[in-house]
Amino acid sequence: MVERLVANEKVEGSTPFARSIYIMTDLINKKCTPCEGGVIPFDVSEIHKYQKKVDGWSLKKDEKEIFFLEKEFKFKNYLDSQNFVNKVGTISESEGHHPDILFGWGYSIIKITTHAIKGLSENDFILAAKIDQI
């Protein structure tokens, strides 16, 4: 049933959430690998292939034309935002891959890129998938 959902077929009793869980599973089960540079960042076609594996992450470019992923999360209050950010920090430390985080009352914005290669790599999508599990 889930495999048919990935092919965008309608299956009775299925949900888009079930499809997104299946798609992200391969990334969630991976571990970020250290990147000290010397690796070519993903090109646009590779980015779009991986972007389909994570839910709701926007592809953006900064002022230096470097691609990054960004997602805003909404919360009921400041404490919920802070708790979420703390969980992101724990995941980031365990993966050795650290996003830029902005948060305040009722929101958190996560920005992910691989600074060492000035672009996106599989690590960025692994981290995005793991953050979405929170």
Structure-block tokens of residue 23? 């798609």
Closest CA to 55 of 10, 25, 35, 32: 25
Q: How many folded domains does the chain comprise?
A: 1
Contact 96, 130 (CB under 8 A): no
Alpha carbon dihedral 25, 97, 107, 77, in 10-degree steps, equals 90
CATH number at residue 21: 3.30.1360.20
Classify burial at 121, counting beta carbons within 10 Å of its beta carbon; exposed 0-12, middle 13-18, buried 19 or more: buried
> Digits of tens for pLDDT over the chain (134 positions)?
233 333 343 434 444 444 444 455 688 888 878 777 778 999 999 999 999 999 999 999 999 999 999 999 999 999 999 999 999 999 999 999 999 999 999 999 999 999 999 999 999 999 999 999 99
The range of the structural domain enclosing residue 11 comes to 2-132
Q: What would you report as the CA-atom Rg of the chain, rounded to the nearest whole angstrom? A: 16
Confirm whether pTM is higher than 0.85.
Answer: no
